[in-house]
């Protein structure tokens, strides 16, 4: 009986190790919130707007392409075009580490703009139609509560900004159905997304 129990334990451990190895093998990058970001602190201190900053570990930098983009929704309806996107890939290095981020400048002004950045690349601030209206209040959230392992070909939501004329309702941003509900029930929403592919692919058709 003891030998049988020991054999079962060994098999279970072997399966767990095998599963862990497969998960690591499939991973193309990891990303985690930079909760000590000097960039975000500066944005807040100068009242410039909102900045999301992440530590990014690109595990297969010489084999893949990274696409980061921003979607905008008004009254539950998507804008016909992506607001901004940043594509980079096929690094000369096998791996890369650095910061990626998304900023909203002057969201309550006529000169509102957005930008994206990643290791070695950035976009110029792109003008955006005024987001925070006079009667509105704005909230923003990271959607990551821990380090996220990115898989090839999968799309991930990293952050959101929302605006409403009333109190901002509470939603479970770890639940996809709650995110969809929030989009439909909120006047204005910005979503930051990321996807890694084996070839260069734009989300702008």
Nearest to residue 102, comparing CAs of 45, 140, 58, 64?
Answer: 140
159 pLDDT more than 70: yes
**Up-side HSE of residue 106: CA atoms within 13 Å toward CB?**
11
Summarised one tens digit per residue, pLDDT across range 122-145 is 999 999 888 888 888 999 999 998
Token pair for 121: 């690349």
CA distance 141 to 159: 6
Nearest to residue 74, comparing CAs of 192, 188, 163?
Answer: 188
Confidence of residue 14 (pLDDT cuts 50, 70, 90): very low
18 pLDDT more than 60: no
Q: Report the alpha-carbon angle 193-55-44, nearest 5.
A: 80
Instruction: Give the pLDDT confidence score for residue 19 in this predicted structure.
Output: 41
Mean pLDDT in residue range 65-72:
96
Q: What is the pTM of this model?
A: 0.85
Q: For the chain, what is the mean pLDDT?
A: 87
Token pair for 166: 């009333």
Mean pLDDT in residue range 102-120:
91
82 pLDDT more than 50: yes
């Amino acid at each position: 009986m003891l030998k049988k129990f020991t054999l079962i334990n060994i098999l279970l451990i072997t399966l767990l190790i095998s599963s862990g190895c497969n998960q690591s093998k499939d991973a193309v990058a990891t990303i985690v919130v930079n909760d000590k970001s000097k960039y975000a602190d500066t944005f807040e201190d100068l009242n410039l707007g909102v900045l999301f900053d992440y530590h990014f570990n690109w595990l297969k930098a010489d084999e893949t392409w990274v696409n980061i983009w921003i979607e905008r929704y008004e009254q539950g309806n998507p804008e016909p075009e992506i607001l901004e996107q940043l594509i980079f890939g096929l690094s000369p290095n096998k791996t890369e580490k650095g910061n990626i981020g998304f900023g909203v400048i002057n969201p309550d002004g006529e000169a509102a703009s957005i930008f994206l950045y990643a290791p070695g690349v950035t976009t110029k601030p792109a003008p955006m139609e005024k987001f925070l209206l006079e009667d509105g209040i704005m909230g923003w959230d990271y959607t990551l509560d821990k380090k996220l392992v990115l898989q090839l070909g999968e799309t991930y939501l990293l952050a959101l900004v929302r605006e409403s004329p009333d109190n901002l309702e509470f939603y479970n941003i770890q639940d996809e159905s709650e995110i969809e509900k929030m989009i439909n029930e909120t006047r204005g929403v910005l979503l930051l997304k990321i996807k890694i592919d084996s070839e260069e692919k734009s989300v702008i058709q």
